[in-house]
Amino acid sequence: MNTTARPARLRRLGALAAAVVGVTLLAAGCSSSSSSDAASSSTTPTPTSTIARGTGTVSVLYAGSLLNLMEKSVGPDFDTATGYTFQGTGMGSGALATLIKGKTTKADVFISASPKTNELLEGDANGNWVSWYATFASSKLVLGINPKSSFAAELKSKPWYDVVGETGFKLGSTDALTDPKGALSVTALQTAATSENKPELATLAESYNNVQPEESLVGRLQAGQLDAAFFYASEAKAADLETVPITGQDLKAIYTITKVAGAPNSSGADAFIEYLLGAAGQKKMKALGYDLTVPAAVTGTGVPKALTSILGE
């Protein structure tokens, strides 16, 4: 890994990692609040299975860790159930927010792996693309391992932090500057470096040689290009990866969904959100190991009337 990364870049890494962890802890500890940063719904809506049918493409920009859920399960079944056509794009949540903000991609629905990412699209300065979002699921950060790696036996018998810093170990992660999982990975390494007195892990957290696009990380691990990589438990389960826990830390993806302002297919966006948060979508997420937030917790204001049956007023 490149240990000569520029100081300014490293400071941004640390700041982003701290921000993601702060939001993770806040969301994990609070399911509702009177502030604008917590769930605003005072009711407990009952998911409905009656979704209006329609036509046209529904553009869904989703966190790359949801690839299997979206492309192999929810997307195809949504098409069948509603008549709409799901069109998904998966990559780091921060990168997706940049596409929306820069008007590079027109989107109907935005799904992030961190509530913090929505702030990039809120308010006048950011184009008012998002005024509300619903937290609907979470998934713990784990270390996926290559069973054929020469380090596999050690990873299964020792704490992860005693192995990943060894000479020759190839550790994969996503980019902390564009993806919440990458930021959580940096936090995991930095925290272990301090708590376990392992400065080599802090050096590892600052390097970029093994940063990979989120959508290709599973493939690189399975191809033997990596000894291990950071994943969420749900995506590891979907890819049938062996995993070891990030012991001593409680780091997780916190998934949120919202309708993007000016959605080209407004009714299709409503239908997709209702489908994902309804009984059918919940069943699929549960089967893949997601920890569901039921009912989904709304932050902000402006939930479309079409979604009040599932999200409340």
**How many Cα neighbours within 13 Å face the side chain of 254?**
26
Q: Give 233 or 45, the one with higher predicted confidence.
A: 233
- Type and span of the H or E element at 144: strand 132-145
Q: Which range, of 29-33, 96-100, 190-194, averages the lowest pLDDT? A: 29-33
273: pLDDT strictly greater than 50? yes
Question: Domains in the chain, ordered, with CATH?
Answer: 7-19+140-250 (3.40.190.10), 22-29+50-137+253-311 (3.40.190.10)
Q: What is the pLDDT of residues 84-106, one digit of tens each?
A: 999 999 999 999 999 999 999 99
Mean pLDDT throughout 52-64?
Answer: 95
Give the pLDDT confidence score for residue 11 in this predicted structure.
41
Q: Would you say 238 and 287 are in contact if contact means Cβ atoms under 8 Å apart?
A: no
Q: For the whole model, what pTM was predicted?
A: 0.81
Q: Would you say 94 and 116 are in contact if contact means Cβ atoms under 8 Å apart?
A: no
Q: Give 115 or 39, the one with higher predicted confidence.
A: 115
Q: Which range, of 19-23, 33-37, 223-227, averages the lowest pLDDT? A: 33-37
Give the pLDDT confidence score for residue 51 in this predicted structure.
86
The mean of the pLDDT values for the chain is 86
28: pLDDT strictly greater than 70? no
**Cα–Cα distance, 285 to 281 (Å, whole number):** 6
Enumerate residues 6+ apart whose C-beta is below 8 A from 151: 145, 163, 166, 169, 227, 228
Give the pLDDT confidence score for residue 313 in this predicted structure.
62
pLDDT > 90 in the chain, percent: 78
**Cα–Cα distance, 202 to 214 (Å, whole number):** 22
Of 7-11, 48-52, 269-273, the range with the highest mean pLDDT is 269-273
Cα first-last separation, the chain? 50
pLDDT > 70 in the chain, percent: 83
Give the pLDDT confidence score for residue 183 in this predicted structure.
94
Give the pLDDT confidence score for residue 2 in this predicted structure.
38
**Cα–Cα distance, 305 to 127 (Å, whole number):** 22
Give the pLDDT confidence score for residue 173 in this predicted structure.
94
